[in-house]
Amino acid sequence: MTVPDPAGVAETARLVAGGEASARAVVEAALARIGDRDGGLNAFSVVLADEALAEADARDAKLAAGGPVGPLHGVPVAIKEEIDVAGAVTTFGGDANSTPAAHDAEVVVRLRAAGAVVIGKTTMPEFGAFPFTESDSRGVTRNPWDRTRTPGGSSGGTAAAVASGMVPVGMGGDGGGSIRIPSASCGLFGLKPQRGRVTTAPHPHLWWSLGTAGPLTRSVRDSALVYDVIRGNVDGDLYTAGGDDSFVGAAERAPGRLRIGWSVKPVSLGVKPDPVHVQAVEDTARLLAALGHDVRPIDPKYPDPTAAFVPQFFAGIRTEAAAVEHYDRLERRTRQTCRLGSWVTPKVRDWAIGQGEKVSAKANRVFQDVDVLLTPAIAHRPPAIGRLEGVGTVRASLRSMPSIAYAAIWNVAGNPAASVPCGIAADGLPVAVQLVGRTDDEATLFSLSAQLEEARPWPMLAPRRCGPALH
């Protein structure tokens, strides 16, 4: 049979586990797509072709021997540069490390245990500091929908790889919107989970209370499937989350009648949302009302997250920079960021984490009156590439504000939040909205997002000619 270009996560796993396609053939087709498409996008920093083929052969041998197979059996997955993959250098998007990781990060261990095949690592700005995937060492990563535009960031390489159809899923990280921003820019579904839902091992945290890891996919159910594989904690994790609902189960059931409040008011002062995004929120609100939900405009009365976010941002960058092998090889802007953040002592950092708890309490008051908050995902349309070229930390931060204007507060608060595609705007680029849920309530977001996906299907791939068929 011919497999779609490419099949999604669930479909790929079903085909391989059912013997309709071999894991090796799936991986060979993915490698061919990478070879054909990545030259114009720069999504991958390294392709682990030999390792992936060997891993695929092991998956096929296990299936042939009648061994049990996992829910991701034979699925190619891309891994963001900041996540350890044994045998590959964890570059954090730069050149300051040179020794390959000795062990997989725990999320990679879980992906492999579920049958996934690691096919390569994806580009990111150094340490994920800004929402544009550009670096001195890796160059510029481009949006598959319009190669003159950024795919967002910091998980922009992952987003470009998935949106272009090179792989069905890629792992990203989100410390201020870095799953949701590239998902919104590239037409993907990307959910930032509740703080502590996914282990950060071997590290106790990712940017202290701000960061978490998660997948970028082309469908809601595919995201839920991967999350059900990687969720959970290990000893040493600084944060844990509550609840144990299956996310696949949530994605497959109707959400019931929900109270949904919508707002286009940005958290960040001085940021004005693009009319395309305002229209997307209003259109989505009308659709949700037509689906039977209680939908109304609200004022979220956002608290100011700056005092909590900024010190943890600096502390996160400085912590990662202090651990690299060759500090002198860091980008000039990164070293400038470290100097500018020297005032963030451990005492200041801990104070900021405490401020974050206050922000969370205030931000969550909105859920006394609604079950889900609907907002724009990003304020601007994906800008032209080159946003980081020749600029230092301050200007880069100012240019980042429209990207994080609706996203970063939920990193501070810890709540789950998802970027949900809406379709394609007149400029040819994807449009998305953000759904924010109560603490520990990813299940409602998966259920509601799946309902939206069914009612308003979105294009699954950027407009690129199909690569080699898989038989």
β 169-174/212-217 pair status:
antiparallel
Active site residue 403: no
Among residues 113, 436, 123, 136, the alpha carbon closest in space to that of 281 is found at 436
| Chain center to CA of 226 | 12
Task: Report the DSSP pairing between strands 294-297 and 259-262.
Answer: parallel
Which pair of structure tokens corresponds to residue 179?
């799953």
Out of 178, 183, 209, 219, the active site residue is: 178
Report the amino acid identity of residue 256.
G
178 is catalytic: yes
- 3-state SS class at 214: strand
What is residue 153's DSSP assignment?
A: S
Terminal-to-terminal C-alpha distance of the chain: 5
Is residue 408 a contact partner of residue 312, using CB atoms and an 8 Å limit?
no
Nearest in space to 419 (alpha carbons), one of 461, 463, 378: 378
Alpha carbon distances (Å) from 322 to 88, 146, 173, 317: 20, 36, 20, 9
Reported in sequence order, the residue ranges of 325-371 that DSSP labels E, i.e. its strands, are: none
Which residues is 215 bridged to in the sheet? 171
H or E element that contains 363: helix 346-363
Contacts of 422 (CB under 8 A, 6+ apart): 280, 283, 284, 430, 431, 432, 433, 456, 458
Q: Phi/psi class of residue 427: alpha, beta or left (left: φ > 0; alpha: ψ in -120 to 50)?
A: alpha
Q: Which candidate in 80, 185, 400, 419 is catalytic?
A: 80
Longest dimension (CA), the chain: 61
Q: Which residue among 135, 154, 263, 268 is the active-site one? A: 154
Q: Could you confirm whether 80 is annotated as catalytic?
A: yes
No. of helices (H) and no. of strands (E), the chain: 15, 13
Strands (E), 152-203: 169-174, 189-192
Measured CA to CA, the distance from residue 324 to residue 82 in angstroms comes to 12
Within 8 A by CB and 6+ apart from 36, the residues are 467, 468
Residue positions annotated with a catalytic role: 80, 154, 178
